[in-house]
Amino acid sequence: MEKYDKIIEVLRQVHPAVTNPDKLKETILQKIKNIPQDSSFPKEEKLRRKIIVWISGIAAGLLLCSLISSTIIMWKYTEKPIAIHSFPEISAGEIQTFITSPEFREKTVEEQNDLLRKAYISHQKRIEMRTQTIIELSTSLN
C-alpha cells in the first residue's frame, strides 16, 4: 500500500509539459463546441432503442396472454366438486344399456368421460355411505 501511495504522490508532483497552452485551450474548446447539444445519442441509436423497446413490449404482452390463457385452460379442466347423489343407483345392466344408448353415443368423448366419471364417483360415495351406515348400526346394536 505504501508503494502505491508513493507512486501517486510522485505523479501528483509532476506537471505535464505543455509547450503552447493557448493552442491546447483553443483545441479543447473547439472540440467541445463540435459536440451536438440536442442529443447524446445519434439518430441510429435512438431508432435502435425504440425498436428494442417495442419488441420487448410485444414479447411481454404475448407472454402475459400465454400465461392468462394457460391459467384459464387449467381452471376449465380441473375437477369440480360433485354432489354425492348426482346419479340414482344404477345396476351393471342399466349402465351397459345407458352406454349403448344413442343419447350417450351422440355426446362428445369429453362429455361421455365426464358422465362416466361422475357415475363412478357417485357409486363409490354410495358404497362408502353404506359401509359407514353398517358400521354405525353394528356398533349401536352392541
pTM of the full structure: 0.32
Q: Are 131 and 120 in contact (CB under 8 A)?
A: no
The whole-number pLDDT of residue 37 equals 63
In a domain, 111, yes or no: yes
Phi (first) and psi of residue 83, to 5 degrees: -65, 145
Query: Domain range for residue 52?
Result: 40-78
Whether 89 and 66 map to the same domain: the answer is no
Whether 51 and 105 map to the same domain: the answer is no
Whether 125 and 91 map to the same domain: the answer is yes
Q: Is 92 helix (H, G, I), strand (E, B) or coil?
A: helix
Q: What share of the chain is helix, strand, coil (3-state, %, to 5)?
A: 75, 0, 25
Cell digits for 13? Answer: 508532483
The percent of residues in the chain predicted with pLDDT above 90, rounded, is 13
Task: Transcribe 14-65 into DSSP letters.
Answer: PPP--S-HHHHHHHHHHHHHHS-SS-SS-HHHHHHHHHHHHHHHHHHHHHHH
Residue 85, pLDDT > 60, answer no
In a domain, 122, yes or no: yes
Q: Is 115 helix (H, G, I), strand (E, B) or coil?
A: helix
In a domain, 17, yes or no: no
Whether 44 and 94 map to the same domain: the answer is no
Tally the domains of the chain: 2
Whether 141 and 119 map to the same domain: the answer is yes
Whether 137 and 87 map to the same domain: the answer is yes
| Residue-wise pLDDT tens digits, 19-73 | 777 888 888 888 877 776 665 666 778 888 899 999 999 999 999 999 998 888 8
Whether 84 and 140 map to the same domain: the answer is yes
| Residue-wise pLDDT tens digits, 111-122 | 888 888 877 787
Q: Are 123 and 87 in contact (CB under 8 A)?
A: yes
